[in-house]
Amino acid sequence: MRTFLIVSDSHSRSSALGALGRLRPLFEENDFIVHLGDGSGDMRMTVSLFPEKTYVMKGNCDFSYGENERVIETEGVRILCCHGHKYGVKHGLSLLAARARELGCTVALYGHTHEAGISTEDGVLCVNPGSLGSYAEPSYAFMAVHQGKATPTIVRL
């Protein structure tokens, strides 16, 4: 079994940086740490501490740090990681799901909306951890992946 700690939309706000600090003990315990953008620079210390397992996406408010998207494959599951703004996630998940299917992924991790949620779109499990910033009740996602199955959970801070 592999585990993911997934965050998004920290926006370099002091409340979000405090939330990241509270999550730091969990960084060591999980196999993957993923930040889905908008505040990607907030993860520089985490990347320096855990470079082999930290993935940082670039959001629409990030200009120099992070990847546009990444596919992670583990335990027989292919996972698309992105911010989501390029796929219009504020208006629906069909474009995100189509991109995930195009890349052979059955899971898509995205942010941008600041609203935590787990849903399925055209056979793709879509997971948004919500925001660590001050826009909504702070949350993150935990996801376990085991033998071809992904099981996500939204955790409120």
Give the model confidence (pLDDT) of 108-122 as tens digits: 999 999 999 999 999
Of 60, 81, 16, residue with least CA distance to 42:
16
- Provide CATH code, domain 2-156: 3.60.21.10
pTM of the model: 0.96
Instruction: Give mean pLDDT, residues 4-31.
Output: 89
Instruction: Give mean pLDDT, residues 63-88.
Output: 97
Instruction: Give mean pLDDT, residues 41-69.
Output: 95
